[in-house]
Amino acid sequence: MTIDVEDYFQVSAFAPFITPDSWPQRECRVEANIERILAILEQGGASATFFTLGWIAERYPAMVRRIVAAGHELASHGYAHLRASDQERAAFGDDVRRSKTILEDLAGRAVLGYRAPSFSIGAANLWALDELQAAGYRYSSSIYPISHDHYGMPQAPRFAFRPNGPDGLLEVPITTVRLLNRNLPVGGGGYFRLLPYALSRRLMRRVNRHDGQAAIFYFHPWELDTGQPRQHLAGVKTRFRHYVNIARMEGRIRALTRDFAWDRMDRIFLEKA
């Protein structure tokens, strides 16, 4: 179980309408939403990995410490939600080191995992994994093996692998199922909100039973937040993707904690590795 800790105004799809220099003036809702998520996980007996923005961590240090004190893994989502594919190598390296330092100073323990905003590591920038390894990370969850208009590396393996060779960084993709000769997403996000819950549950069970693999699920704090300010300047497609079925999301996350056993990324993948 993984949570990408960012606020509604930091979503990549809203970037043309919300500039980073306006973030400090925006209504921040992430702290309250994280408290809801921590309560859901505690009630469901689930442990998770929280991929957290350095920008958020600087402003809500007590929230970061709450995540760690509750027994969850703290991991990095970069500093300012910049896509890895939009950065030069040196800038990317600076970003991931900055966020790692901030998170480790707050948590008092090593940060081993990283997830690129918008799953923005792919065939054209696998060098990013070398930068992560050089910065001290042990694994990434940044390659999504699907075809999508904003991201994806459909030719990538569906399960944990080392893209840059046996000594390279471990990559743990979001879960997909192989149907009709293509990979279909079943690991969270807008797909999870759009599809009937029963179908998502069935497909994740297929991964567990047929493939013998753990399902990697992700969601964002804003996906539970029906009171977030609406972004009316965004296009119809963007608004649909962002807001579809958010009123049902909390109930579905609770159902996931009843229907599956969830643990942290580091315990499942690094210990096995």
Q: What is the mean pLDDT of residues 221-229?
A: 96
pTM (predicted TM-score): 0.95
- Report angle CA 152, 13, 18 to the nearest 5 degrees: 150
Residue pair 103/50 in contact (Cβ under 8 Å)? The answer is no
As given in the structure block, the two tokens for residue 197 are 């819950």
Express each pLDDT in 56-88 by its tens digit: 999 999 999 999 999 999 999 999 999 999 999
Tokens for 157, please give them. 């393996």
The pLDDT value recorded for residue 263 is 98
Choice between 161 and 147, residue whose per-residue pLDDT is larger: 161
The pLDDT, as a whole number, for residue 206 is 96
| Residue 154 or 149, more confident | 154
Q: How far is CA 265 from CA 114, 148, 188, 215, in A?
A: 11, 24, 16, 11
What confidence score (pLDDT) does residue 146 get? 83
